[in-house]
Structure 1
């Protein structure tokens, strides 16, 4: 089969193959190409080639390297030459490369984009430039070198093939050479690139590698050893981690509700605040960072964005705290899966050697969710209950499957994802839980049910001890948990939570509106052990002193020397609507703002006036029109691309075919119309009107409402009202037609 260009190869591909290419290499469809020539040009750019290589495994990349070694970027090469370089069958790998248009042509004439050499680096397979002089006697020359010279050659053969040395600038005869490098240069077994650089010739590198370009073991995916576990054991272990996470998140939200930490001027959470959070929750700073990132990512905490910004729990916090455990877990798990940030980076250093703070913009990585799902998907491919023995072994497997994905943080992101997923209860004993498998399949209802089954059943009782501690032998029922949180502090947490009742905690419970009798009744009903007298005395003692001094909230007041007028106001329905209460013969108070109260009284026929602290009348009317405050618009996440649907891919392929047809048919004798890019479309209108009268097809260049340029061959049905209507019932506004030409029959 003769060599063919990439554009010609694409034109011969079926529509299904082109649609799959557009879905696989998403960048090729943005903006939609006008024809296959544009598609081929775009597919051959260095950036697009580099992106297409990110999902390729080590073996497929090795085949691409072998194609470059064979010179497929400059001339067509046969498959046999590639097979010889790789040392094994390459048919399947070539299929993957052809599907991504990283290779094309028949087995006897394979080609790759010239940009592949830029994308993969200057030394394919870690081998140097060819030296034709060594093609025939490389083995004989190699047999003459000594052990020290051979050690240098072996090191360079492992790659990269270049080395820096001060001996490179010396041009000595073999008899005068002293060092191994000098001797190798004299023998012609090293190539001098400059005064400080030498390079191992390709022929010698292949010879030292045994005649193939790659170590055979490196082309085989490493095994992933696993430990078999019962699925129930995995789920229960992960559920225990999830319960501990929920407890810590609850503690964080309550702590920040009372004392929100400030937002750094540069954004993020300060070192002092992070250390305090870690100490309060009794966790390390890595765990504290993860918790902070989760609550912000889930929308439970946000930047207050005022003059002294703080990290404050949002209105979603109350509904989250009131939700069942499984729903709270689902909120956090979903937030982590979609979190466009890498909490593991916190504590490190940025490009300016400054510490990276939690919750700062330095942690933003838009592709982080893709990396997490990649790790979880790899675990999902294992049998149910199978857990990886070592995270490092999983790192090696994923690095083999996609060595070019993830950059310098490739391996660290896998370790971070495993640790964070374990903390969230998505993984237990190194294995994926039943709920996580369902969550990856977008079955949220099933995931919630699986987690509900894994969680221990809530208990409806506690064990009250004589030392005023209360032991919860398991997760408490929501109502009992709320009562215990109100009347006691957590002293230690785990599978059995220990609470301590103190004078302060009893007072706190009374502050919430609970009475002493209700606390006594709660302990009598919920304690599986006798209630000690010490607890009874403590509750009664605090209750006797509680509430003797009382306070209330007032948003405004009304005063008047005429008690009859105040009585008239209290008798009016407006008094009930604004909670007006008499606290003295001449004073009313309300919980509503003064402006609203005065406006309502004026509407009821009264004539009140507002006064300032000094007793003078003030004007409370607004000085101008006001609008509600608007939340700051969320910024687009760079690097994220929408999934191309089958319908969208089919439409782009259809436009490609139309563009090819238009280009091919316009090659005949045509009359070119002036471009209609301005307001004057007279020339275009004349040409289209002529085509309509003569029933001839016309080629047009067209820009749609999204600014995407394309080409069409249209048979005009009618022209008028600023619109061209084709026989295919498509309508083209004349001001969007950039050029037109008659098509030669």
Structure 2
């Protein structure tokens, strides 16, 4: 006998089936349902049905549409009618729908939740309602009688949706008086008038215009995904080149923002002017610059200073990141991108108020972005290693077929953005997923580091000094040599072979860091694979000869006194060494310590100094009170999808469902209701539970758990005391949560 309701069908299913249902539809378990009736009610809501359909492919959704076309939301329909409408075997699709409780019943009486039409839309398969006037009519003959303009209108509506807005549906006119295509079609009964401005194409005409089928064979099959086979090593090395460019651009961004941090917009984000400056300085597109900024902030290398005038400032992580090997630096950025709960591709677009969306602004936040990103990468991971997609649009079509209801209006654009960003980061090369990216998707970080190390070109320990004062690095330099070259030369062009330019300013910059002319000569002599040109030696010597003739130093405070003997007494005191006091003139001492500390130290040593300001007046240096440092705002991360329910968690929920069903099905006597309010007497409930314990009788109880969820249970009590009812099943029920109780009749 077919199940008459979803609750009945679920109640008859096995525990394993219910466990699989709860795991596939996570929302059904929050909060845990008290019995199967509650589970069925929750599973039949439009919102829950819409979420359950997000991961279904086009074919499975077509089967669900066919069920709705047959009216399975109102009355049971046979499997044969659904298969005839789809035009092929639907057994596997029905199994997927049953597993999600979107279809239930035997093959002779299939049903779907009544609210499925609300969740999926009023026009299943893009078809309108049937027209009683066309029942049994020769539709092909009727279509042959219409004009070309009328036929074009019908064809457009047949593609779906079948609804059209028009001003010609105000009145029902006879065919002789009809002037427009809409009026003529209404007069012939080939359009249905819904209101003064809406017409609908009858289902019979829609199917006829589709060639007599509801779904085309092409739409029910997953599109092909053509690929180009490549050697895995070729893919990895190609992507490694992009990864090296990413690291170079990120270093340049951090260096630039460390010297001149860009301001944070009042509404949050990075301004258009600052973005364009960054793109121009790095010689990249603005979309690329946006991705770099988002990655830097996402990886914690840059943060909002949150000052009175906030700026985007590099954090202390910048130094450790710059000092790390290239593979570790790439892993940091790659992991940040995978977990980034934002869509950088939205930057530059318009928000709901038609205002431009700025990079690093809150408008880019999308908690499900990591899930969408991994979905695209997982599709590439399904391909054999080294195989790359020929076209991103073909990948878009495949993913759209696999989950047409997932991603909303940004579904296809998100795939394109992900492919572009993955290529920029070195996740994808030649349209194929790299070995390092596959390892990261498998949460195998050591293997990812090993893969990117194998792909990156080996660092070189030499350069080629040219006669025109340029230096060519034939590959990525070793960290120490790269630091030396960055100090003494400027990058003129970057790539697999970096070209540096040595100028008077760059040599002076190296000398400013404490390097000597002899050290620079030794650097070029030992690290250049070509002879060092004489012009370079002359340049270094000439700049060094003029460098440092005028010197400056830093002082935290000074002391002045017309009495030279008193200053001599101060210098002879141990306080002079403690506070680094030095004589720079007969009447002036300086110290590297702040003035307040020096004054306090002198006073403790027995002197009586006074502090003075720039105008010579005495200053009050007493502390103005304790200050607490401002706490940094905790970083926020995307939540992604809800956590997957484990088999153990789902099993406990199913056990509670069975217990709730048993409690609802058992006959019981008059129930004792727990009094409302904390001060009421609960003696009647305690007396009934004690009687059941002594008599070894089962008792039906209603209780509310810690989440506030009400449910029912049948319990065989073994002890009542200490505010707890203990059952034979080792369950414990706090007495203050029991709302009612009754003895179960024998």
Q: Choose 193-202 or 289-298, whichever is displaced more.
A: 193-202
**1:604-630 deviations in Å (ceiling 9; x for gaps):** 887887735256363534524x54432
Aligned: 1:498 with 2:503:
no
Unaligned runs of 5+ in 2: none
Question: What is the match of residue 651 of structure 1?
Answer: 652
Question: What is the match of residue 574 of structure 2?
Answer: 569
Asked if structure 1 preserves the Cα contact closer than 8 Å seen for 2:675 and 2:682, the reply is: no
Question: What is the match of residue 54 of structure 1?
Answer: 54
Question: What is the match of residue 732 of structure 1?
Answer: 733
Evaluate the alpha carbon distance shift between residue 109 and residue 597 of structure 1 in structure 2; reply closer, same or farther with a 3 A threshold: farther
Question: What is the match of residue 116 of structure 2?
Answer: 116
Q: In structure 2, what is the Cα distance between the partners aligned to 1:340 and 1:123?
A: 34
Question: What is the match of residue 381 of structure 1?
Answer: 382
Question: What is the match of residue 521 of structure 2?
Answer: 520
SS in 2 for 1:2: coil
Aligned: 1:409 with 2:414:
no
Asked if structure 2 preserves the Cα contact closer than 8 Å seen for 1:464 and 1:532, the reply is: yes
Aligned: 1:670 with 2:675:
no
Q: Choose 245-254 or 637-646, whichever is displaced more.
A: 637-646
Evaluate the alpha carbon distance shift between residue 606 and residue 107 of structure 1 in structure 2; reply closer, same or farther with a 3 A threshold: farther
Asked if structure 2 preserves the Cα contact closer than 8 Å seen for 1:171 and 1:186, the reply is: yes
Question: What is the match of residue 126 of structure 1?
Answer: 126
Give the TM-score normalised by structure 1: 0.93
- Write out aligned runs for 1:426-437 (5 A): 426-437=427-438
Question: What is the match of residue 421 of structure 2?
Answer: 420
- Write out aligned runs for 1:5-154 (5 A): 5-139=5-139, 142=142, 145-148=145-148, 149-154=150-155
Q: In structure 1, what is the Cα distance between the partners aligned to 2:440 and 2:618?
A: 65
Asked if structure 2 preserves the Cα contact closer than 8 Å seen for 1:673 and 1:687, the reply is: no
SS in 2 for 1:142: helix
Report the alpha carbon displacement of residue 255 of structure 1 after superposing the two structures with TM: 0.6
SS in 2 for 1:216: coil
Match of 2:620 among 618, 621, 631: 618
Asked if structure 2 preserves the Cα contact closer than 8 Å seen for 1:724 and 1:732, the reply is: yes
**1:3-54 deviations in Å (ceiling 9; x for gaps):** 4311122222222222222222122122222222111111111111111111
Q: In structure 2, what is the Cα distance between the partners aligned to 1:661 and 1:598?
A: 84
Question: What is the match of residue 329 of structure 2?
Answer: 328
- Write out aligned runs for 1:592-611 (5 A): 611=611
Q: Choose 609-618 or 327-336, whichever is displaced more.
A: 609-618
SS in 2 for 1:611: coil
Report the alpha carbon displacement of residue 589 of structure 1 after superposing the two structures with TM: 5.6
Evaluate the alpha carbon distance shift between residue 677 and residue 522 of structure 1 in structure 2; reply closer, same or farther with a 3 A threshold: farther
Asked if structure 1 preserves the Cα contact closer than 8 Å seen for 2:660 and 2:713, the reply is: yes
Q: In structure 2, what is the Cα distance between the partners aligned to 1:417 and 1:216?
A: 30
Q: In structure 2, what is the Cα distance between the partners aligned to 1:417 and 1:681?
A: 64
Give the TM-score normalised by structure 2: 0.93
**1:304-332 deviations in Å (ceiling 9; x for gaps):** 00001000000000000000000000001
Question: What is the match of residue 400 of structure 2?
Answer: 399
Q: In structure 2, what is the Cα distance between the partners aligned to 1:612 and 1:697?
A: 90
Evaluate the alpha carbon distance shift between residue 648 and residue 553 of structure 1 in structure 2; reply closer, same or farther with a 3 A threshold: farther
Q: In structure 2, what is the Cα distance between the partners aligned to 1:550 and 1:675?
A: 89
Q: Choose 638-647 or 272-281, whichever is displaced more.
A: 638-647
Q: In structure 2, what is the Cα distance between the partners aligned to 1:308 and 1:178?
A: 67
- Write out aligned runs for 1:681-700 (5 A): 682-683=682-683, 684-700=685-701
Question: What is the match of residue 550 of structure 1?
Answer: 551
**1:639-690 deviations in Å (ceiling 9; x for gaps):** 642232232222222222222222223x422323225663546244444344
Report the alpha carbon displacement of residue 261 of structure 1 after superposing the two structures with TM: 0.5
Question: What is the match of residue 281 of structure 1?
Answer: 282
Unaligned runs of 5+ in 1: none
Question: What is the match of residue 201 of structure 1?
Answer: 202
Q: In structure 1, what is the Cα distance between the partners aligned to 2:60 and 2:742?
A: 46
How many residues were matched structurally? 737
Q: Choose 530-539 or 649-658, whichever is displaced more.
A: 649-658
Report the alpha carbon displacement of residue 351 of structure 1 after superposing the two structures with TM: 1.0
Q: In structure 2, what is the Cα distance between the partners aligned to 1:388 and 1:244?
A: 23
Q: Choose 728-737 or 246-255, whichever is displaced more.
A: 728-737
Question: What is the match of residue 450 of structure 2?
Answer: 449
Asked if structure 1 preserves the Cα contact closer than 8 Å seen for 2:342 and 2:366, the reply is: yes
SS in 2 for 1:219: coil
